């Protein structure tokens, strides 16, 4: 499958054609044949909003997972908060993306850390957080079947969603299994599909092109933010000089 909005749209069309109901982590048991669309926001919330808008146009809602510990974005900035609220307004759910690398698994209680981060995200969104996904999970985390808030918060890497569902993902811009063939086969009643909106675009771009575009676009974002904070910035540095 290509990493374009068109290809993603076709995937949604195929799922619909094959009789899948678009569900979230809480309501999938209400239907015999379900698909949970999950998106991890690793670097760029703007790209997630683009995908969220596309899904909303197709009448589909999904779950977006956002980091509270990212070096790439700050969920409490006005800009990020507006985008996350936009995802919610479009009918999507926003859950916590948890990066265990920030913690020392030998010393820290990771479930407590998730619960603390969930509270932060709840402050940011002004609503309850009911699902968590892991960013680059270790083998131990994949195996742990964590119970978060006594099971009230869904762990998308829990046994139910990782083993009892057919799980397919485009991690590192690579579908390890052919998602279209899996949907086409109709062999699975419970599908769990992870995509990273970062890799998708109007036209097919290589990983290198996408990463390069992202780095270059950050110069504009950075300069724009400096402009808001340094009066008459042009006296020191003009955009063209970058
Ligand atoms: Zn991630």
**Residues 213-224 pLDDT 10s:** 999 999 999 999
Q: What is the Å distance from ligand 1's center to 132 Cα?
A: 11
**Residues 51-97 pLDDT 10s:** 999 999 999 999 999 999 999 999 999 999 999 999 999 999 999 99
| Pair (191, 218) in one structural domain | no
Q: What is the Å distance from ligand 1's center to 40 Cα?
A: 5
| Pair (200, 213) in one structural domain | no
Q: What is the Å distance from ligand 1's center to 134 Cα?
A: 7
Instruction: CATH number of the domain at 12, please.
Output: 3.20.20.370
H or E element, residue 43: none
| Pair (62, 171) in one structural domain | yes
| Pair (106, 141) in one structural domain | yes
What CA–CA distance (Å, rounded) separates 40 from 195?
Answer: 7
Q: Which residues surround ligand 1, an ion (CB under 5 A)?
A: 40, 42, 135
Q: What is the Å distance from ligand 1's center to 63 Cα?
A: 13
3-state secondary structure of 97: strand
| Pair (237, 137) in one structural domain | no
The answer to whether 124 and 81 are in contact (CB under 8 A) is: yes
Please say if the pLDDT value at position 105 is more than 90.
no
The answer to whether 37 and 55 are in contact (CB under 8 A) is: yes
Domain count of the chain?
A: 2
Average pLDDT across the chain, whole number: 97
| Pair (150, 210) in one structural domain | no
**Residues 119-152 pLDDT 10s:** 999 999 999 999 999 999 999 999 999 999 999 9
Phi, psi of 19 (to 5 degrees): 85, 20
Q: What is the Å distance from ligand 1's center to 127 Cα?
A: 22
Q: How many residues does the chain have?
A: 242
Q: What is the Å distance from ligand 1's center to 42 Cα?
A: 5
| Pair (145, 190) in one structural domain | yes
Range list of β-strands (E), 178-233: 190-195
What CA–CA distance (Å, rounded) separates 42 from 107?
Answer: 25
| Pair (241, 179) in one structural domain | no
What CA–CA distance (Å, rounded) separates 178 from 174?
Answer: 10
Question: Rounded to 5 degrees, what angle do the CA atoms 12, 193, 102 make?
Answer: 135
Q: What is the Å distance from ligand 1's center to 131 Cα?
A: 14
Domain that holds residue 85: 5-205
| Pair (189, 227) in one structural domain | no
């Amino acid at each position: 499958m290509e990493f374009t909005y068109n290809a993603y749209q076709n995937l949604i069309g195929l799922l619909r054609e094959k009789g899948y109901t678009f569900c979230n982590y809480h309501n999938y048991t209400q239907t015999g044949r379900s698909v949970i669309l999950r998106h991890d926001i690793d670097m760029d919330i703007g790209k997630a909003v683009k995908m969220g808008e596309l899904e909303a146009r197709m009448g589909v809602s999904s779950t977006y997972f956002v980091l509270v510990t990212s070096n790439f974005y700050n969920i409490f900035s006005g800009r990020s908060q507006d985008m996350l609220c936009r995802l919610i307004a479009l009918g999507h759910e926003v859950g916590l993306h948890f990066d265990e690398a920030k913690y020392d698994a030998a010393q820290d209680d990771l479930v407590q850390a998730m619960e603390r981060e969930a509270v932060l995200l709840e402050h940011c969104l002004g609503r309850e957080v009911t699902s968590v996904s892991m960013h680059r999970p270790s083998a131990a985390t994949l195996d742990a079947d964590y119970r978060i808030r006594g099971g009230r918060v869904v762990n998308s890497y829990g046994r139910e969603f990782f083993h009892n569902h057919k799980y397919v993902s485009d991690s590192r811009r690579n579908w390890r299994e052919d998602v279209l063939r899996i949907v086409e086969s109709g062999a699975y009643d419970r599908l769990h599909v992870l995509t990273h909106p970062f890799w998708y675009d109007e036209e097919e771009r290589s990983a290198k092109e996408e990463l390069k575009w992202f780095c270059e676009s950050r110069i504009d974002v950075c300069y724009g933010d400096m402009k808001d904070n340094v009066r008459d910035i042009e006296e020191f540095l003009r955009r063209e000089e970058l």
